[in-house]
Amino acid sequence: MIFETQVTNIGPEAEMFQQEKMLIFFGDDAPETLADYCYNIQLTPSTAEIIAGMNFSFDDQVYEITAVGDVVKKNLDDLGHITLRFDGSKTAELPGTLYVEDKAMPVITVGTKIAIS
């Protein structure tokens, strides 16, 4: 386990991006312009590099990581901020985006545990 946290708040518009197979995570200090669209998480630093082939999980729902943007680890550690795309891309097009396998999106509630292993 290199990263573990939990969802502390869900912005009123956070589910809007699910149609695009995308979720936005941010620590509790999300800028006002983004806060409504984010799943807030407790800020917790990761303990190792995040690489393709690792797993990203929501409670017991597990997704294989397929690509990792260049600033995912830095943004996650400093701000709790990443975008998660459920499209199975093998190449990271956006530096702050983590890509996971293309399958049904998770159900997320306040208290959902999020982990990378």
Rounded mean pLDDT of 71-92? 97
- Measured CA to CA, the distance from residue 52 to residue 99 in angstroms comes to 9
Dist CA 61 CA 44 (whole Å): 20
Instruction: Please state, as a whole number, how many other Cβ atoms lie within 10 Å of the Cβ of residue 9.
Output: 14
Three-class HEC string of the chain = CCEEEEEEEECCCHHHHHHHCEEEEECCCCCHHHHCCCEEECCCCCCCCCCCCCEEEECCEEEEEEEECCCHHHHHHHHCCEEEECCCCCCCCCCCEEEECCCCCCCCCCCCEEEEC
Arithmetic mean of pLDDT, 82-100:
98
**Domain 3-116 belongs to what architecture?**
Beta Barrel (2.40)
pTM for this entry: 0.96
Strand partners, 55: 64
Task: Tell me: pLDDT of 14 over 90.
Answer: yes
Domain-by-domain residue ranges, the chain? Answer: 3-116
Q: Report d(CA 82, CA 114) in Å as an integer.
A: 13
Mean pLDDT of 66-87: 97
pLDDT digits (tens, 9 = 90+) for 16-55: 999 999 999 999 889 988 999 999 999 999 999 999 999 9
Q: What is the mean pLDDT of residues 83-109?
A: 97
Q: Quick one: pLDDT band at residue 110, thresholds 50, 70, 90?
A: very high
Q: What pLDDT does residue 28 have?
A: 87
